[in-house]
Structure 1
Amino acid sequence: MESVSTEAVAEIRHGVMRMARRMRAARSPEALSSNKLTVLGHLYRNGPGTAGEVAEAEGQRPQSLTRVFAELEAEGLISRSRPDRDRRQVVLAITERGAEALGNDMAERDAWLAGALAGLSETELDVLRVAARLMERLA
């Protein structure tokens, strides 16, 4: 396959970054931090896991998320437990309240996005859906 032009790379990067910034801006001021949403999203999609598993899957170090885990637990959004098979480990799990907070955050962004997409044609929507699947594959 032929190499991708620097112009194409820059155009795609620019579009993705602007969209990410716009999606963040659509969130309410009291919304959860990106790191908190990352942890909640991981636990929601993948089920319970250790701090190390969550951090590794999200490309971070467990020490970088220690405060995030503590804050999420204090807010009742995750729980910590020790499995009977290995009492040294701590397993994190999303709580019902955490799933609700995650859902509320997604609903805020989805509402903005639905409004933004409303002005596009069916063809444009189809192109964006294909692009979304390709970006998911790249990620």
Structure 2
Amino acid sequence: MSSTDVAAHEIRTSLFRLVRRLRQERPEGELSYSQFNVLGWLEREGAMTNADLAAAERVTPQTMMRATTDLVASGFISRADNPADRRQVLLEITPAGATLVREDRRRRDTFLAKAMDATLTPTEQELLHLAARLMDQLSEVVE
């Protein structure tokens, strides 16, 4: 196993553990992980069709329909006719959904900042900041 292989394995497993820990910062009974992902997509990208959301999340349109139906019922997203194609429905995040996303991000960012302050030196924090930018670069690699 090469040093790159070992590093890739360690990065993947560390990221998995960190993501799992950040998920624990969400209160019990709040939306599912996939529902938060839907809200995140709509908050970042604007209105999207159910098919576009399904493709972005790599799930079937039927699976996405279940998630979005619940989000509409909860008032976190709304449906509107697509002015470019009346056969399609656009899904948009509502102000309540946007507030939920902002609060969720703030809660998890606060946890992470406190954990970093409590366990990492300023140099380690800078190194982690650089690593975050490098991981963003890796996430954009297309094979």
Task: Provide TM-score, normalisation by structure 1.
Answer: 0.90
Task: Provide TM-score, normalisation by structure 2.
Answer: 0.88
Q: 1:1-139 alignment to 2 at 5 Å?
A: 4-119=3-118, 120-139=120-139
Counterpart contact for 1:77–1:97, Cα < 8 Å = yes
Superposition deviation, residue 84 in structure 1? 3.5
Structure 2 unpaired stretches of 5+: none
DSSP-derived class of the 1:81 partner: strand
Q: In the aligned structure 2, how far is the partner of 1:84 from the partner of 1:22?
A: 41
Q: In the aligned structure 1, how far is the partner of 2:30 from the partner of 2:109?
A: 14
What one-letter code is carried by the residue in structure 2 that aligns with 1:137? Q
Counterpart contact for 1:39–1:54, Cα < 8 Å = yes
Superposition deviation, residue 4 in structure 1? 4.9
Q: Identity of paired residues, percent? A: 42
Q: In the aligned structure 1, how far is the partner of 2:74 from the partner of 2:26?
A: 19
Structure 1 unpaired stretches of 5+: none
Counterpart contact for 2:53–2:64, Cα < 8 Å = no
Task: Give 1 or 2: higher strand fraction.
Answer: 2
Pairs aligned (count): 137
Range moving further from structure 2, 14-23 or 82-91: 82-91
Counterpart contact for 1:31–1:105, Cα < 8 Å = no
Q: In the aligned structure 1, how far is the partner of 2:108 from the partner of 2:46?
A: 23
Q: Deviations over 1:22-77 (max 9, x none)?
A: 11112211322111111000011011011111221222222221110000000000
Query: RMSD across aligned C-alpha pairs, in angstroms?
Result: 1.5
Q: In the aligned structure 2, how far is the partner of 1:112 from the partner of 1:102?
A: 16
